[in-house]
Structure 1
């Protein structure tokens, strides 16, 4: 079993007390006051709407500040460029997805129930923030490092949970990083189909289908 991934996931999930605005990116100018945090949050929320609606190329700093109702100078207090706020937004959205899933999981859940709860939470988040798919997709070209970090971080967290399930005896002991990426791939496209394109099934129903695949497979019983 690959050894580095689970360790990296533990580091990535550390310090749950910080807000998503605090965790946006290493190079962002982290606000030190509550007013500053509200301003930064407003900029990130406005950026999510603008990038989600118009894409990276057709979004401007001015359109972001106008939507956020902040002065242009306030933008440059925290970000040096459109590229930097986009990078911060990708990291911010990744962190919010992580926190949303973490909140949904309980210590009483077994290994597969944790995956079911995490997927349910992700589907709910995707329905409330449909722009996440366009933003993450655009990151592949606008900021490839953030794009890769988003998916690697997500897969690391899944692999960490699988590892814990293996060590507790709940899951097979030959699970690898590829299993985590397979689960993530399933979740991503379920979110696209039943979170962004339609909501014809409840998040719980969709997660139940994925749970059935993970627990029982597709072979006729």
Structure 2
């Protein structure tokens, strides 16, 4: 039975996603992707002109969605700063502005891992640095002051590492969302405690 073109295109993208996730862009060959998709290398090129085009099809709109989510979180944080809220109210305010399940389902996806660890050699190879840079900048807003700059950067690096670890090892999306949500709550609680202590000491 002949495979429909739409079905074959989906198979190619799924095969490519698996290979990019395991090996990264540079170490993945179009021939291997074609074999995994049960088609020929010549036929694969009927669907995608080159490996870069296929890579972009795999990650899709994820880079744009993540940037929108990050800036949405930033807006929620700035709004919370301008109100007299306790810790739990701040968390709930952020969740109201940016539904965590929607945000985290992208951060916990294979496509996210591909962007963060397998994009070398593509037009998106700088995405990890851009993502990390935003996290560092945002963390420094949570922990203002030159004396906190190095610590804020380290916490941001740790946050990205935790995201990647949970994305790789979660047994289900629900488990991953619970783990990251709890991690963020602990992170915010710790930062607020440090900031309160510094304010008291001043």
- Which TM-score applies when normalising by structure 1? 0.49
SS for the counterpart of 1:139 is coil
Greater relative contact order (CA < 8 Å, ≥ 6 in sequence): 1
Match of 1:127 in 2: 108
Q: 2:119 matched to 1:139?
A: yes
For structure 2, the 5+ residue unaligned runs are 82-89
User: Deviation at 1:85?
Assistant: 3.0
Match of 2:181 in 1: 204
Match of 2:126 in 1: 148
Aligned partners of 2:59 and 2:190: how far apart in 1? 30
Match of 2:86 in 1: none
| Alignment map for 1:5-16 (pairs within 5 Å) | none
For structure 1, the 5+ residue unaligned runs are 1-35
Q: Which moves more between the two structures, 184-193 or 69-78?
A: 69-78
Q: 2:167 aligns with which of 195, 200, 203?
A: 195
Aligned partners of 1:107 and 1:50: how far apart in 2? 37
Aligned partners of 1:151 and 1:68: how far apart in 2? 32
Judged with a 3 Å threshold, the aligned counterparts in structure 2 of structure 1 residues 73 and 98 are, in CA distance, closer, same or farther, namely farther
User: Deviation at 1:119?
Assistant: 7.6
Match of 2:64 in 1: 95
Deviations along 1:90-144, one digit per CA (max 9) or x if unpaired, are 6744334335556778859625744996887654434343x6335532334x34x
Q: Which has the larger radius of gyration?
A: 2
- Identify, as 1 or 2, the structure richer in helix: 2
- Which TM-score applies when normalising by structure 2? 0.52
Superposition RMSD in Å: 5.2
Q: 1:110 aligns with which of 77, 80, 102?
A: 80
